[in-house]
């Protein structure tokens, strides 16, 4: 029987509660489909930072880099650690360190879930956002400069760029803050190729989302690479969308979309909108994927510290992320069975958390989905 070693970072706030349910369901699927999971628990998060001053060490990054998939709860607790430290020091750190350039975010309305969109059903809302995950405004290149400051030399750390910027900032302002968005040809190409391949497996329609009418340099390059790549995929229908307009189309015509490829920051924004039209953050999973390296699967929502320990929040996003993780490990049947079980739970509508109008606890929902996985697999 296959045994997978999977590092788990439960993290902060509700992280440990939802991860417990994700593990429960994955283990149930393991019983049915014949595999074991060895969970390797990692302590990173607010408490670990307060106790040790460490976000995540180089040594731990190396250690975790030996595995194919990490299961992540959520990070951050502003009551303990200033916002940004753990997000940048652990989450973004891992996305960059493992070069997880694909951020997969399904936007899929499941039957039995209410969408705030009038007259839309599960037939209308089923697309995949592929968020580029290692470039754009997330590269960490920026600074704050006070009047009269000297010339600054900034170096972009990632190998694929190896770029140095010499910035001479003259300003009449007392102080300016700036942030540089970077799109590289290689970085754009690999995400486009992944997205076109994915579109080929789906409804053969790929939409690019950018803002090439204003940020003409970085998103101009993005569009060029999109157009060049499209030539190798004549069977895939394509279009360009400006990000502001796409927020309208997601609401008005979600059925138009199949696969959406977008730079990092716009991807961050439009996937919260995507989560809302599929029923809320409690139902939105995400995968940070490096097909040849270490990937990481997580719920899209945050740590919600005020709900910690209340057994209240919806674990479905985390359970669904667990299905994405199993799919990534090659356990496709088990992954499909988990998604089916989530669908069945939602369709039955009896065991649901407060966000979906129910009164069940986090653990009740996890147990119900685990039960359905076993019933469907006849164990």
Q: Residues in the site for ligand IPM, rule: CB under 6 A? A: 87, 91-92, 268, 300
Residue 268 in the binding site for Mn ion (CB under 5 A): yes
Tell me the two tokens of residue 178.
Answer: 């700036």
Choose the contact partner of 209 out of ligand IPM, Mn ion, none; CB within 5 to 8 A by kind.
none
Rounded to the nearest 10 degrees, the angle between the axes of helix 243-252 and helix 264-277 is 10
Burial 104-139 (b: 16+ CB within 10 A, else e): bbbbbbbebbebebeebeeebbbbbbbbbbbbbbbb
Beta carbon of residue 223, minimum distance to Mn ion (angstroms, whole number)? 24
Choose the contact partner of 91 out of ligand IPM, Mn ion, none; CB within 5 to 8 A by kind.
ligand IPM
Residue, CB closest to ligand IPM: 87
Strands 295-299 and 69-74 come out as parallel
If residue 337 lies in a helix (H) or strand (E), which one and from where to where? Answer: helix 332-348
In this complex, which beta carbon is closest to ligand IPM, that of residue 220 or of residue 302? Answer: 302
Beta carbon of residue 376, minimum distance to ligand IPM (angstroms, whole number)? 31
In this complex, which beta carbon is closest to ligand IPM, that of residue 21 or of residue 268? Answer: 268
In this complex, which beta carbon is closest to ligand IPM, that of residue 34 or of residue 84? Answer: 84
Do residues 98 and 133 make contact, with C-beta atoms less than 8 angstroms apart? no
In this complex, which beta carbon is closest to ligand IPM, that of residue 24 or of residue 108? Answer: 108
Residue, CB closest to Mn ion: 268
Report the site for Mn ion in 336-365 (rule: CB under 5 A). Answer: none
In this complex, which beta carbon is closest to Mn ion, that of residue 268 or of residue 331? Answer: 268
Site string for Mn ion, 228-267 (x = CB under 5 A): ----------------------------------------
Q: What is the spatial distance between Cα 131 and Cα 194, in angstroms, rounded to a whole number? A: 11
Burial 146-181 (b: 16+ CB within 10 A, else e): eeebeeeeeebebeebeeeeeeeeeeeeeeeeeebb
Residue 126 in the binding site for Mn ion (CB under 5 A): no
Q: How far is CA 83 from CA 9, 257, 302, in A?
A: 19, 34, 12
Choose the contact partner of 87 out of ligand IPM, Mn ion, none; CB within 5 to 8 A by kind.
ligand IPM
Q: Which residues are paired to 152 by β-bridges?
A: 167
Beta carbon of residue 18, minimum distance to Mn ion (angstroms, whole number)? 17
Q: Which residues bind Mn ion (CB under 5 A)?
A: 268
């Amino acid at each position: 029987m296959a045994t997978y070693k999977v590092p788990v970072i439960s993290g902060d706030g509700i992280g440990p509660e939802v991860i417990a349910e994700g593990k429960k369901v994955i283990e149930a699927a393991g019983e049915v489909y014949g595999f074991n999971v060895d969970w390797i628990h990692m302590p990173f998060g607010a408490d670990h930072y307060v106790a040790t001053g460490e976000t995540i060490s180089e040594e731990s990054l190396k250690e975790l880099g030996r595995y194919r998939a990490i299961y992540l709860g959520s990070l951050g607790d502003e009551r303990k650690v200033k916002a940004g430290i753990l997000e940048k020091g652990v989450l973004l750190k891992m996305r960059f360190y493992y070069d997880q350039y694909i951020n997969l975010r399904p936007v899929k309305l499941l039957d039995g879930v209410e969408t705030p969109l009038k007259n839309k059903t599960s037939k209308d809302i089923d697309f995949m956002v592929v968020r580029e995950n290692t470039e754009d405004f997330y590269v960490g290149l920026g600074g704050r400069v006070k009047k009269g400051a000297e010339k600054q030399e900034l170096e972009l750390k990632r190998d694929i760029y190896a770029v140095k910027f010499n910035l001479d900032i003259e300003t009449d302002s007392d102080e300016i803050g700036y942030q540089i968005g970077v799109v590289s040809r290689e970085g754009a190409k690999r995400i486009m190729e992944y997205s076109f391949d994915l579109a080929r497996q789906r409804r053969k329609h790929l939409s690019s989302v950018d803002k090439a009418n204003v940020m003409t340099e970085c998103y101009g390059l993005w569009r060029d690479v999109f157009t060049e790549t499209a030539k190798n995929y004549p069977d895939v229908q394509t279009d360009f969308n400006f990000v502001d307009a796409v927020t309208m189309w997601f609401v008005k015509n979600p059925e138009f979309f199949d696969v959406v490829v977008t730079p990092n920051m716009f991807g961050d924004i439009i996937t919260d909108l995507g989560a809302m039209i599929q029923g809320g953050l409690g139902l939105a999973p995400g995968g940070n994927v490096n097909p040849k390296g270490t990937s990481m699967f997580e719920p899209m929502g945050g740590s919600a510290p005020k709900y910690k320990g209340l057994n209240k929040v919806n674990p479905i996003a985390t359970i669904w992320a667990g299905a994405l993780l199993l799919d990534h490990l090659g356990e496709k049947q088990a992954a499909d069975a988990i998604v089916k079980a989530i669908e069945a739970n939602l369709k039955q509508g009896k065991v649901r958390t407060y966000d979906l109008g129910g009164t069940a606890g986090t653990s009740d929902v996890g147990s119900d989905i685990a039960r359905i996985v076993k019933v469907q697999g006849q164990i």
